[in-house]
Amino acid sequence: MHRSETTIRLEDIFKGSTGRDEPIRTVLTKGVAGIGKTVLTQKFTLDWAEDKTNQNIEFTFPFTFKELNVLKEKKFSLVELVHCFFTETKKAGICSFEDFQVVFILDGLDECRLPLDFHNTEIFTDVTESTSVDVLLTNLIRGHLFPSARLWITTRPAAANQIPPECVSMVTEVRGFTDQQKEEYFKKRFRDEEQASRIISHIKTSRSLHIMCHIPVFCWITATVLEDVLKTRDEEELPKTLTEMYIHFLVVQAKVKKVKYDGGVETDPHWSPESREMIESLGKLAFDHLQKGNLIFYESDLTECGIDITAASVYSGVFTQIFKEERGLYQDRVYCFIHLSVQEFLAALHVHLTFINSGVNLLALQSPNGHLDLFLRFLLGLSLVTNQILLRGLVTDSESISKASKQTVRYIENKLCENLPTEKIINLFHCLNELNDCSLAETIQLILSLGRLYAYELSPDEWSAVVFILLSSEKDLDVFELKKYQVSERALLRLLPVIKDSKKAVLSGCNLSLRSCEALSSVLNCDSSHLRKLDLSNNNVQDSGVKILSAGLKSSYCRLDSLRSEQS
């Protein structure tokens, strides 16, 4: 079955695409941290409550996993769980929901601390019988419990595979701001047209910043920083890297604390012994729990990191834009950083400070799924003297670390010669950017702009640079034409990630080999491929090549609408 990718309106989330036969029971919505998943579920609930949309639905029950986590040791029936969270239903005497159209929203699967086991959990069908919350949720998602209910689960991508595919009717993704929406955001935030134009132009010159700005929260952080920099140091060069941006963000928060809570003025030193201790404590909390994959912290977590509960309330009251306190079910206090990237930055700062102050290297981390990529970029960025100067008063300059950054650049360039997954290639180039070394990417960018790639014998790391530049370009990859680059098997194999991300690939007259056919077949058989049209005309692939390509075309993941293969 060919799966299509289409834009869906919020009010139609349970209607799906036209022509769909089976009803939609469970929608799984993916999106990176801060992209707006929770806001989306809140908008859906509000529109429904105000009688604007989905009036066929009689009850909408929005749950968050961080609230459900508190119930880990308790037992409920499904009806009791609803009564516990939505007391009005109990007061109304409603003890059965099977006769109603009900939507359950389960927000933040990635924050779940419950042991959801979809393979060994007992089957549970009675909505009035009590069991542990993890068994309830597993059976609800499986469809054994309350099969007529509809479910909407949101998650960050890394946790999406916790839900078996057969339990999901439709997968959606929140993509964040388009390039046009990024510009609209900054134009609304900065009423001064000249200032807004300068900021937009600046963000476009930094590939890392421009890519990150598709996340609304990052746009807000960027705007907060640039507003302060332009207000206080108009002629100063604007931050170009993520590390610089987050250092400035931390300094802005320290200044706010100094002026608002300590009665100081903006020209005073930012870092008092008290604020330094706060940041160091938050850094330890951030790092310890980044290792464990925790994004939500309870009072016991804070105590383990040496933060007493009174101090935690002060931190969340003082550094309100970094660390926040929330009230969970039963008014239990839970804490989290304002955004995952802030936790990653403070975790990197903790590792950096620990090494400088005590010589202890805390790093023994591995990230097979890439969840520490941003942490690594921050850690490398903090090694630069220019960034240490920005943090003066909090961080001591370290020449030895700065010298090591040059060795790191060489190490990364050697890694780029290896046959790495696309995501690792992209992150390594972002790492080079944090180290202020963009020479490799800039050289290839120049060659590409001149349209003379065919004239060069590229090394493996230079091919990696081509992939990075094409995949992180502002322009959508609508059409990829191999002849614009190089007509060779090596070029096709190296540019396979770009083909996979394009909507149309033109490989006409490119003398495709059997190995090329195998590579293209793997693209067709890839779940994340965006390829819709493929032009293989004027290639003598012979029967063996056709057979290999057919395997990819038969794949359930193949989304091709058009295939050209005629010979002239």
DSSP 360: -
Q: Is residue 321 in some structural domain?
A: yes
Q: What is the pLDDT of residues 441-452, one digit of tens each?
A: 888 888 888 887
Q: β-strand 533-535 against 26-30: which pairing, if any?
A: unpaired
Looking at residue 329, what is its pLDDT?
55
Q: Of 301, 317, 345, which marks where a domain is finished?
A: 345
Give the H/E segment covering residue 323.
strand 323-327
Q: Which residues pair with 107 in a beta bridge?
A: 64
Q: Is residue 381 in some structural domain?
A: no
Tokens of residue 488, six digits: 């060779």
Q: Is residue 530 in some structural domain?
A: yes
The region of weakest confidence among 237-246, 273-282, 327-336 is 327-336
What mean pLDDT comes out for the span 69-75? 85
Q: Of 320, 345, 370, which marks where a domain is finished?
A: 345
Report whether 160 contacts 108 (CB < 8 A).
no
| DSSP state letters, 466-489 | HHHHHHT-SS---EEEGGGT--SH
Q: Of 299, 324, 345, which marks where a domain is finished?
A: 345
HSE of 223 in the Cβ direction (CA atoms, 13 Å)? 19
Mean pLDDT of the residues in the chain: 85
pLDDT tier, 139 (very low <50, low <70, confident <90, very high otherwise)? very high
Looking at residue 3, what is its pLDDT?
46
Looking at residue 2, what is its pLDDT?
38
**Residue written as tokens 């194999």?**
493
Q: Is residue 482 in some structural domain?
A: yes
Residues written for the chain: 568
485-514: burial string, b at 16+ Cβ within 10 Å, e else: bbeebebbbbbbbbbbbbbbbbbbbbebbe
3-state DSSP assignment of residue 178:
coil
Is residue 512 left, alpha or beta, with left meaning phi > 0 and alpha meaning psi from -120 to 50?
Answer: beta
Do 21 and 99 sit in the same domain of this protein? yes
Q: What is the pLDDT of residues 89-138, one digit of tens each?
A: 898 888 888 889 999 999 999 888 888 999 888 898 999 999 999 999 99
More confident residue, 372 or 520: 520
Q: At what angle do helices 216-232 and 340-358 cross, to 10 degrees?
A: 60
Do 201 and 270 sit in the same domain of this protein? yes
Q: Is residue 355 in some structural domain?
A: no
98-124: burial string, b at 16+ Cβ within 10 Å, e else: eeebbbbbbbbbbbbbbebeeeebeeb
Q: Is residue 542 in some structural domain?
A: yes
Do 202 and 269 sit in the same domain of this protein? yes
Q: What is the pLDDT of residues 150-189, one digit of tens each?
A: 999 999 887 888 899 899 999 998 988 888 899 999 999 9
The region of weakest confidence among 207-221, 395-409, 554-568 is 395-409
Q: Which residues contact 329 (CB under 8 A, 6 or more apart)?
A: 67, 70, 71, 84, 85
Q: Is residue 403 in some structural domain?
A: no
CB count, 10 Å around CB of 58? 12
CATH code for the domain in which residue 34 is found: 3.40.50.300
Do 33 and 128 sit in the same domain of this protein? yes
Global pTM reads: 0.75
Do 18 and 146 sit in the same domain of this protein? yes
Do 153 and 298 sit in the same domain of this protein? no
What total number of domains does the chain contain? 3
Q: Give, in order, the Cα–Cα distances in Å from 397 to each of 145, 384, 392.
A: 59, 9, 8
Do 158 and 17 sit in the same domain of this protein? yes
Do 189 and 134 sit in the same domain of this protein? no
Euclidean distance between CA atoms 99 and 129, whole angstroms: 18
Residue type, position 62, single letter: P
Residue type, position 72, single letter: K
Compute the Cα dihedral for 243, 293, 357, 261 and give only its sign: positive
Do 99 and 227 sit in the same domain of this protein? no
Do 191 and 321 sit in the same domain of this protein? yes
Domain that holds residue 481: 476-567
142-165: burial string, b at 16+ Cβ within 10 Å, e else: beebbeebbbbbbbbeebbebbee
Q: Which of 482, 492, 547 is nearest to 523 (CA)?
A: 492
Looking at residue 369, what is its pLDDT?
56
3-state DSSP assignment of residue 418:
coil
- pLDDT for residue 234 is more than 60: no
Do 123 and 260 sit in the same domain of this protein? no
Q: Is residue 468 in some structural domain?
A: no
CATH code for the domain in which residue 531 is found: 3.80.10.10
**Residue written as tokens 């930094």?**
206
Euclidean distance between CA atoms 84 and 457, whole angstroms: 67
Do 196 and 323 sit in the same domain of this protein? yes
